[in-house]
Amino acid sequence: MRSFTYSRAGSAAEAVGRAAAGTAFVAGGTNLLDLMKADVLRPEGLVDISRLPLDRIEETAEGGLRLGALARNADTAYDERVQTRYPMLSKAILAGASAQLRNMATNGGNLLQRTRCYYFYDTATPCNKRQPGSGCGAIGGVNRIHAILGASDQCIAVHPSDLCVALAALEAVVRVTGPDGERSIPFAELHRLPGDRPEIDTVLRPGDLVTAIDLPARGFAEHSTYLKIRDRASYAFALVSVAAGLEMDGDTVRDARLALGGVAHKPWRDPEAEAALIGKPATPDRFRAAARVLLRDAKGHEHNSFKIELAERAIVRALTEAAERKGASRP
Ligand SMILES: Cc1cc2nc3c(=O)[nH]c(=O)nc-3n(C[C@H](O)[C@H](O)[C@H](O)COP(=O)(O)OP(=O)(O)OC[C@H]3O[C@@H](n4cnc5c(N)ncnc54)[C@H](O)[C@@H]3O)c2cc1C
Ligand code: SF4
């Protein structure tokens, strides 16, 4: 057994002040504690942030919503305003984990959950993300769930979150307070690609506390969906997922957002794929053309090449559903 210190923070400033090297914040604990039990993560100390008053969902002056970092995934998904104005987000959250886990898991923790790569969890195998320089068990190993976009020769892991895929499509902003003060991070910049530093998942700095996630006013409520393709109908991570939001002018696409999950180290968006939809008729052929733009650099490994065609089909299906989804107010 490994010993560690535990303390409960009374304020955000106190939490940041206590976050020394080797410590970790614990919120719902549904990911961090599993990783500690598996001996994958070995923090010397835990700073419990679960009682901080960061659990509210509030209106913003810009007409959007501010989701507290400590609001539970379930409370966020079932919030009337989220369901009505951001149905894609509600649907994404409810596609993840289980009811019990969503009752415990927080929004901040969901953003920062670690990959589900088998080798990352198995301390008997090499993994550059867990132990830099040790190698990658998935390259040349079993890689069915791994990345087809943005991977490196050091790591081919994918980010497992559903919530994050919808936040990427919505262009949310992550609010952070840390040793250097407060700052806002556009969602697209939060997670990073593995490159030659796969052990670093995000641009957060040591001691940074996520306090909230801001949703812009535009939620694509009338024409959006979240489609998750997985091995089981529930309680399984995405092989491929698609968050799609459209603004329609009759049968023509006026604006488009498209993000993919389960395919890369971060939710995958591509402005060129979205541009390929704008001003075009909402037809399967156009959607397929945009999917091919998005997937043009996709590369499979021994066991996951099927994801390339799966992603193309999922994009066409999600965009078709979004285009037809007029006035949908519930996921
Ligand atoms: C069996 C199982 C199935 C699952 N299936 C899915 C799924 O299908 N889809 C999906 O999206 N997720 C899934 N999950 C993951 C689940 O959503 C995450 O475990 C959860 O969201 C993490 O939130 P938490 O509050 O428990 O985080 P914690 O475990 O407390 O923390 C996770 C990480 O975030 C850091 N952290 C937490 N809050 C903050 C903060 N405010 N500021 C800075 N750092 C912070 C912690 O230090 C830690 O590194 C599953 C989990 C399990 C166990
Ligand atoms: S894919 Fe990444 S997380 Fe998985 S074994 Fe390789 S380095 Fe580790």
DSSP annotation string for 134-203: S-BSSTTS--TTS-SSS--SS-------SHHHHHHHHT-EEEEEETTEEEEEEHHHHB---TT-TT--BS
User: Domain limits at 299?
Assistant: 224-323
Secondary structure element (H or E) that encloses residue 240, with its range: strand 240-249
* Residue at 80 is within a domain: no
Q: Report whether residue 30 contacts ligand 1, using a CB cutoff of 6 Å.
A: yes
* Residue at 281 is within a domain: yes
* Residue at 276 is within a domain: yes
Q: Report whether residue 136 contacts ligand 2, using a CB cutoff of 6 Å.
A: yes
Which ligand 2 atom sits closest to the C-alpha of 194?
A: 2
Please tell me the residue having the least CA distance from ligand 1 atom 51: 97
Ligand with minimal distance to 121 CA:
2
CA of 230 to the centre of ligand 2 (A): 20
* Residue at 139 is within a domain: no
pTM: 0.98
**pLDDT at residue 329, rounded to an integer:** 44
Residue 23 predicted with pLDDT over 80: yes
What is the C-alpha to C-alpha distance for residues 71 and 75, in angstroms, rounded to an integer? 7
Query: What's the average model confidence in pLDDT over 154-165?
Result: 98
Q: What is the mean pLDDT of the chain?
A: 97
CA of 101 to the centre of ligand 1 (A): 9
Q: What is the DSSP letter of 255?
A: E
Q: 242 with 259: CB under 8 angstroms?
A: yes
What is the C-alpha to C-alpha distance for residues 261 and 255, in angstroms, rounded to an integer? 21
* Residue at 23 is within a domain: no
Query: What's the average model confidence in pLDDT over 186-193?
Result: 98
Ligand with minimal distance to 26 CA:
1
Laid out side by side, the sheet with 240-249 consists of 224-229, 240-249, 252-261
> Ligand 2: which of 145, 152, 155 to mutate, judged by most atoms within 8 Å of the beta carbon?
155
* Residue at 9 is within a domain: no
Q: Domain of 262: which CATH number?
A: 3.30.390.50
* Residue at 246 is within a domain: yes
Provide the pLDDT confidence category of residue 328 given band limits of 50, 70 and 90: very low
- The count of structural domains within the chain is 1
* Residue at 161 is within a domain: no
**pLDDT at residue 326, rounded to an integer:** 63
pLDDT for 214-259, tens place per residue?
999 999 999 999 999 999 988 899 999 999 999 999 999 999 999 9
**pLDDT at residue 1, rounded to an integer:** 81
Place of tokens 């830099």: 132
What is the C-alpha to C-alpha distance for residues 162 and 74, in angstroms, rounded to an integer? 13
